[in-house]
Amino acid sequence: MRRWSAVVALGLVPVLLGACAQKADGDLLVGPGGGRGDASGPPVAASDPETVVQDALKDVTTYWRGEFPKVYGGQFRDLKGFYPYGPDTAPPPCGSPPPVYDKIADNAFYCPSNDIIAWDSASLIPRINHTYGKFTVAIVMAHEFGHAVQRRAGAQDRSVDLELQADCFAGAWTAQVTAGHAAHFTAKDVNLDQAVAGIVAVRDEPGISPDDPAAHGSGFDRVGSFQDGYENGAERCVGYADPDVDRRTAEITFGEGDTNNGNLHLEDRGSDDPGVLSLATKDLNEFYGWLFDQLGKQWSPVADLKLADPAQDTVDCDGSTLSGKDLDRVARFCRDQNTVLIDGTGLIHDLDDIGDFAVTSEMAQLWALSAQAQLGTVDHDRADLQADCLTGVWAASTFPNVEDVTPDSDLQISAGDLDEGIIGFLFYGQSLGRTSRSAFERTEALRKGVFGGYVGCKDYGPLD
């Protein structure tokens, strides 16, 4: 996040299809402290990932033979070939001359000139299989196949829109696997949180413009597109490619005030240099003042953000006295005092290691609990997802070029911030004890808030 600075406008340019794999961002199933995150245990790797690739291509081909006539009309033409490659093999037949290995290492791509899909079987596929599991390998193939579908449909748009459409297509196919409509995969193979981790790991580097011909999308946008296809099918994905429509994305460039990859320092450095904790506290209280005005209610600001030291502090919260292990990794809203309590020696710094938005989104979820408590809705069965949705509404209020609902605060979102929130879900989504929801579900709720506003959050329960 950043304090207010210059903003950027989004445009629209046509692009050609290109290579898809991006440099992976470490293992997003392993948390900052080295422990495995909440994405339902270690990934299930295949003993032979090349068989997974071939099985996925067979099943995706079958899927599009049936689906293409429904969404585009006409018969689907099978691709001309599939080509694994490596440093010691012949290059895939794409172009003249074909590409040398150094140019396509650790990659997977659709080649429109030769109508083939090619992938690095020596590096990319084994790494994805080991790190994110065999079904994420299948999703990579479904994404590349999506570009072949675009070629047949004549789809044209910015690079980022075509990449997001391919993610959407991959989500639509995954839903069919979950429903039992695949010959080589079953619902048990599908781990959506590990898929989310794999998608976020190959996101664009923060700060890339969505108009960049090489843009593939932020993690937030890519996961959201995959979810859109998974929930709504391939027909929904068709609208992603429309050069006459400037599709909304959350991908933004860094502003003039951004330093340290857009991450503010955590704590205050004097009265003239507040840290993100102070800035977010002020912004969240002002935001909820605005939201409650919209609802015709009176907001009582969260009274305090307490950073506890488990080694020495004792804290009263909702009738309990917490100390020692009770405060280790704690992040909770204390209803009796209208305060927020977070482990200030461990958790807060682990979140900050992810990025400042991982910190502020955790804060925002706790502020949302205060709002729900004041509205009398905190105990309904999807209040946890509504809190994530409200966090998305707050995040959207900090975007450039939107209505300024917090005029007394100068906090503004930075490139990559929303991705940090998703990574926080992956690492700490269930372990903090407030929810049993998957990172997939929580990201969907966050996205609904970002793009649907607080009205969209009513899908999870009342807000009045």
3-state secondary structure of 35: coil
Whether this model's pTM surpasses 0.85: yes
Residue pLDDT, tens place only, 306-347:
999 999 999 999 999 999 999 999 999 999 999 999 999 999
Residue pLDDT, tens place only, 134-185:
999 999 999 999 999 999 999 999 999 999 999 999 999 999 999 999 999 9
CA–CA distance, 358 with 277 (Å, rounded to integer): 12
Residues in the chain: 464
CA–CA distance, 32 with 436 (Å, rounded to integer): 21
Residue pLDDT, tens place only, 73-101:
999 999 999 999 999 999 999 999 999 99
Q: Among 19-33, 74-88, 205-219, 294-308, whose mean pLDDT is lowest?
A: 19-33
- pLDDT at position 235 over 80: yes
Instruction: Write down the pLDDT at residue 40.
Output: 53
Instruction: Please say whether the beta carbons of 192 and 440 come within 8 A.
Output: yes
What rounded mean pLDDT belongs to the chain? 89
Residue pLDDT, tens place only, 422-453:
998 888 766 666 778 888 999 999 999 999 99
CA–CA distance, 456 with 452 (Å, rounded to integer): 5
Dihedral in degrees, nearest 10, Cα atoms 280, 284, 290, 296: -170
Phi, psi of 355 (to 5 degrees): 155, 160
Instruction: Please say whether the beta carbons of 68 and 59 come within 8 A.
Output: no
Instruction: Write down the pLDDT at residue 70.
Output: 97
* CB-based contacts of 191, cutoff 8 Å, min separation 6: 39, 40, 43, 44, 133, 135
Q: Among 254-263, 298-307, 451-460, whose mean pLDDT is lowest?
A: 254-263
Percentage of the chain modeled with pLDDT above 90: 75
- State the amino acid at position 85 in one-letter form: Y
- Is it true that the peptide bond before 87 is cis, omega within 30 degrees of 0? no
* CB-based contacts of 59, cutoff 8 Å, min separation 6: 138, 173, 177, 182, 183, 184, 185
Instruction: Write down the pLDDT at residue 13.
Output: 23
CA–CA distance, 285 with 115 (Å, rounded to integer): 54
Residue pLDDT, tens place only, 185-197:
999 999 999 999 9
Residue pLDDT, tens place only, 382-416:
999 999 999 999 999 999 889 999 999 989 998 88
Residue 303, CB half-sphere, CA atoms under 13 Å: how many? 7
Residue owning tokens 């790797």: 45
Instruction: Please say whether the beta carbons of 123 and 23 come within 8 A.
Output: no
Residue pLDDT, tens place only, 46-66:
999 999 999 999 999 999 999
- pLDDT at position 463 over 50: yes
**Residue 30 has what DSSP assignment?**
B
Average pLDDT over residues 105-119: 97
Instruction: Write down the pLDDT at residue 30.
Output: 42
CA–CA distance, 422 with 220 (Å, rounded to integer): 7
Percentage of the chain modeled with pLDDT above 70: 89
| Token pair belonging to 29 | 């199933």
Instruction: Write down the pLDDT at residue 257.
Output: 65
- pLDDT at position 17 over 50: no
Q: Which helix (H) or strand (E) holds 151?
A: helix 134-153
Rg (CA), the chain: 23
- pLDDT at position 29 over 60: no
